[in-house]
Amino acid sequence: MVSSFGVRIVDNGFIVHWVSVDSHMEQTHEEKVFLTRSDMEAFVIELMRLMRSA
């Protein structure tokens, strides 16, 4: 289960960070994603679609 989620925009992409809770253990994850602007827009649209269906 994800307890928190955030996105930080940087010059050439963005950093996604989230905290997952599994069996009473909290883990922090961070993923750096470097994309072109059009790739980023497509990713955000897909992410919003996935969050609505969850």
Give the list of residues 6+ apart from residue 19 with CB closer than 8 angstroms, or none.
2, 3, 4, 5, 26, 27, 28, 29
Q: How many domains does the chain have?
A: 1
Model pTM score? 0.44
DSSP H helices in 1-54: 37-53
Q: List the chain residues with pLDDT less than 50.
A: none
- The dihedral through the CA atoms of 32, 38, 41, 47 has a sign that is negative
Structural domain of 35: 2-53
> What pLDDT score was predicted for residue 54?
64
**Are the C-beta atoms of 16 and 30 separated by less than 8 Å?**
yes
d(CA 25, CA 34) in angstroms, rounded, equals 29
